[in-house]
Structure 1
Amino acid sequence: MSKIAMIIGVTLILTFYGGTSFYIGRKIYQWLKLLIPHINGTTYVVIYGFFALSLIMVFLPLPTAIKGLMSWIGSYWMGILIYLLLFFLVADLVIWLLSILKIIPTPISPNIHFSAGLAAILLTISFVSYGIYNANRIKNVSYDIEMEENAAGMKIVLVSDLHLGAVNSEKRLENVVENINNLEPDLVCIAGDIFNDDFNTLKNPEKAIDLLKSIKSEYGVYGSLGNHDGGKTFNQMIKFLEKSEIRLLNDEYVVIDERLVLFGRVDPSPIGGFGGMERKEITEILASLDTTLPIVVMDHTPTNLEQYGDEIDLILAGHTHRGQIFPGNLITNAIFDVDYGHYQKDADSPQVIVTSGAGTWGMPMRVGSNNEVVSINLY
């Protein structure tokens, strides 16, 4: 990406965020004025501005402790902002339609504006509260996949999108590992986004290493790189995975007990790069694979699935989070051929399983999706 394109992109994002923040801040202030007529405008601007700027302050060269606090506040604010925007827009739209249809009189009375604002705020509180609660739960999901005889009877456990370093990620890891071990897997696959862009955001790497090392699996734990597993701290991430006894497959494959081939892809769009490593052409690797065995592919992002032909039996992916919070699922469903669950285009195409992930990115919330550990029973 050129510097000019980057500047334009950043400018558009900041403009949109600034406009959105102004709209929401103004709506809340107007509502508070109806509730508390003598509210101090300056005090409100300072308090609201602190929260609105928390998302931006994360990118400034601040002391680690302050940056961590801003990241924590900004993560929650992101989810709150989305729902305030959604519900205030809906409230304004409803009022406008009712006034056009002459169901309510114009000019609009303060009582109607107050009720609409109250509804938007209460709905935001409800959705955000549920989202925080739901993000702290881990759901187990199971699929039965028909496979060639060699692999029949094998159980694969799939997780992705741990986003270690994100809010509550390390606390959640203990439950994820416990769920994995309770499933007694033969093989564990971690399909990308193990980290959350910056290794230094992990609060206790050694504890996370011990947890990951405690995963019990007959044939080991394998991982592939996701788009958030790169950047300036990429080498630290690699060392962490080595200590955690997770074997990365960077456009490489391994034969599991002469029963199946496990092939891990490098993500095509790393944020900050993978230290110069780039994704290889699929044809280079397929030529060397033993196609007499079932082939399972870990490919973090479920795009361009047509690149895989009938020589591939199963693709394991993540990335989409299933939108993470409603209405994000409507967007991911429109973008991807499959944004969640089991999919097979036709009888000659590989089967695909996309997990919604075991962690959260950005806002530590889940609405309309779940953190999950996936059990895949081959028969």
Structure 2
Amino acid sequence: MSKIGMIFGISIMLSFYGGSSYYVGIKILKFLKLLFPQINVTVYVVIYGFFVLSLIFAFLPLPTTVKGIISGLGSYWMGILIYLLLFFLVADFMVILGKTLNIIPAPIPSTVHFSVSLAALLLTIGFVSYGIYNANQIKHVSYDIQTKETTSSTGMKIILISDLHLGAVGSEKRLENIVNEINNLNPDIVCIAGDIFNDDYTAIQKPDRAINLLKNITATYGVYGSLGNHDAGKTFNQMINFIERSNIKLLNDEFVIIDEKLVLFGRLDPSPIGGYGELKRKVITETIASLDTNMPIVVMDHTPSKIEQYGEEIDLLLAGHTHSGQIFPGNLITNAVFEVDYGHYQKDAASPHVVVTSGVGTWGMPMRVGSNNEIVSINLK
């Protein structure tokens, strides 16, 4: 992306964020004025403005502790703002519709404004509270995958996770539970399909503890990983060192043959944020074509875009990235953008199986509404 394109994109996002924040701020202020007619507007603007700016302050070069607190606050605010905006817009639409149908008299009574605003606020509290609770739960999903008749049946169990987003709010807290849940499943192979990190390695508060936890994952043939779009940038070398110390075998457009039973490929993500240094995504078509087709071929590719690039020579594609929208109505967007944004998919009998996980962590707002943090078990038949 060119600098002009990047500046334009950032300008659009800031304009939308500013406009949305202003709209929500005015709606809340009007509601509070109905409750407290003597409210100090200046105090309200300062408090509300701090929440709004917390998302921007999080990108400033602040002391680590201060930055961590503000980043956490901004992450929660992101989810709160989304639902405030959604429900206030719905409330306004309902008022306009009621007025148009002569259900609501004109001028609109203050009791109507109060009631619809209260409903919007209560719905926001409900959705956000559930989202925070659900983001701290881990679900299990299982798929039985039949490999092609030309390959040898392995009976192997693959555990798939993605999107740990270490450094994000709550990511380190849930890591121990994730590792324990994986070990309880007695996997043959553990595949981590990208976004181990959350853009910035230094955001991890206790990296040594995280490394020791990941080293405790037990699998018959080991733990393998591929890089996601957030596993990149200025701290990329520190990320690689972390992965190596965690006993995770990283596959960068490379493959490994596991006990003559399985070929496992790991792809570089096509859109790393900040780049992978000298590493670039390769075309691996010829490499795959040269492999022994009597073994199932499994590919980890973090982003499930352009899945048509994988043909009948592939048995299984493992991906993440989408978070299944993470919070409603985000799932409507990911479903429209990706051919498959979640679950198990196979276009036809000659096409590879595709499994897209919603991930085991959260990005941005530490909430899950309409999706789950999950660990996926895949049984190859």
Shared fold by TM > 0.5?
yes
**Whole-angstrom CA distance in 2 between matches of 1:295 and 1:365:** 35
Instruction: Give, in angstroms, the shift of residue 152 of structure 1.
Output: 2.8
> Are residue 278 (structure 1) and residue 273 (structure 2) matched?
no
Structure-2 separation of matches of 1:284 and 1:36: 70
How far apart are residue 282 of structure 1 and its match?
2.7
**Matched letter for residue 367 of structure 1:** V
Aligned to 1:353: 355
Separation in structure 1 between the aligned mates of residue 53 and residue 79 of structure 2, nearest angstrom: 14
Report the residue type matching 1:112 in the other structure: V
Alignment of 1:191-210 (within 5 A): 191-210=193-212
**Which residue of 2 is the match for residue 147 of structure 1?**
147
Q: Counterpart of 1:351 in structure 2: which amino acid?
A: H
* Residue in structure 2 matching 1:230, options 229, 232, 237: 232
Q: How far apart are the structure 2 equivalents of 1:242 and 1:311? A: 30
C-alpha distance in structure 2 between counterparts of 1:3 and 1:333, whole Å: 30
Count of residues paired in the alignment: 379
Offset from partner CA, 1:282-321 (integer Å, 9 cap, x none): 3242244222211000010001011011000000000000
More displaced stretch, 58-67 vs 207-216: 58-67
What does 1:280-295 align with in structure 2 at a 5 Å threshold?
Answer: 280-295=282-297
- Aligned-partner SS, 1:150: coil
Q: Deviations over 1:209-256 (max 9, x none)?
A: 010000010000000000000000000000000000000000000001
Contact 2:267 2:281 in 1 (8 A): yes
Q: Are residues 1:94 and 2:94 paired?
A: yes
Q: Find the aligned partners of 1:6 and 1:184 in 2 and give their Cα distance.
A: 45
Amino acid at match of 2:51: F
Structure 1 residue 150, shift from structure 2 partner: 2.8
User: Conserved in 1, the CA contact under 8 Å of 2:225 and 2:266?
Assistant: yes
Give 1:258's aligned residue: 260
Q: CA deviation at 1:47?
A: 0.2
Select between 3-12 and 360-369 the one with higher mean Cα deviation.
Answer: 3-12
State whether residues 152 and 294 of structure 2, in contact with CA within 8 Å, keep that contact through their aligned partners in structure 1. no
Instruction: Calculate percent identity across the aligned residue pairs.
Output: 72
Instruction: Provide the residue aligned with 2:331 in structure 1.
Output: 329
Q: Does structure 2 conserve the Cα–Cα contact (< 8 Å) formed by 1:159 and 1:358? A: yes
- Opposite residue 199 of structure 1, the aligned amino acid is Y
- One of 167, 179, 182 as aligned partner of 1:177: 179
Corresponding position of 1:213:
215
Give the aligned partner of residue 316 of structure 2: 314
Amino acid aligned to 2:260: E
- What does residue 41 of structure 1 align with? 41
Deviations 1:8-39 (A, max 9, x none): 11111111111110000000000000011100
1:245 aligns with 2:239: no
| CA displacement 1:41-82 (0-9 Å, x = unmatched) | 000000000000000111122222221111000000000000
Is contact 2:331–2:370 with CA below 8 Å preserved after alignment?
A: yes
Q: Aligned-pair distance for 1:182?
A: 0.4
- In the alignment, what sits opposite 2:27? 27
Q: Which amino acid aligns with 1:175?
A: N
Name 1:364's counterpart in structure 2.
366
In structure 1, distance between residues paired with 2:8 and 2:270: 23
- 1:6 & 1:296 partners in 2: Cα distance? 35
CA distance in 2, matches of 1:347, 1:287: 19
Structure 2 counterpart of 1:125: 125
Partner of 2:3: 3
User: What SS does the corresponding residue of 1:262 show, helix, strand or coil?
Assistant: strand
For 1:3 and 1:223, the matched residues in 2 are separated by 32
User: How many angstroms does 1:136 deviate by?
Assistant: 0.2
Secondary structure at the counterpart of residue 79 of structure 2? helix
Q: Which residue pairs with 2:62 in the alignment?
A: 62
Matching residue within 157, 160, 171 for 2:159: 157
Does the 8 A contact of 1:251 with 1:285 survive in 2? no
My pick for the range that moved more, 100-109 or 285-294, is 285-294
Match of 2:112 in 1: 112
Deviation readout 1:173-192 (Å, 9 max, x if unpaired): 11111110000000000000
SS in 2 for 1:306: helix
Partners of 1:132 and 1:213 in 2: CA distance:
28
* Cα distance between partner residues in 2 of 1:120 and 1:220: 49
Partner of 1:18: 18
Equivalent residue for 1:296, pick from 295, 298, 306: 298
CA distance in 2, matches of 1:188, 1:172: 18
Structure 1 runs (4+) deviating above 4 angstroms are none
3-state SS of the aligned residue for 2:195? coil
Q: 1:137 aligns to what? A: 137
Distance, in Å, in 2 between the alignment partners of 1:281 and 1:52 is 43
In the alignment, structure 2 segments of 5+ residues that lack a partner are none
Deviation track 1:155-180 (CA, whole Å, cap 9, x = no partner) reads 00000000000000001111111110
Task: State the alpha-carbon separation in 1 of the partners of residues 201 and 92 from structure 2.
Answer: 42
Contact 1:151–1:260 (Cα < 8 Å) also in 2 = no
CA distance in 2, matches of 1:5, 1:300: 25
Partner of 1:72: 72
Cα RMSD for the two superposed structures: 0.9
Matched letter for residue 333 of structure 2:
I
TM-score normalised by L of structure 2: 0.98
Q: Which residue identity lines up with residue 334 of structure 1 in the other structure?
A: A
- 1:85 is matched by which residue type in structure 2? L
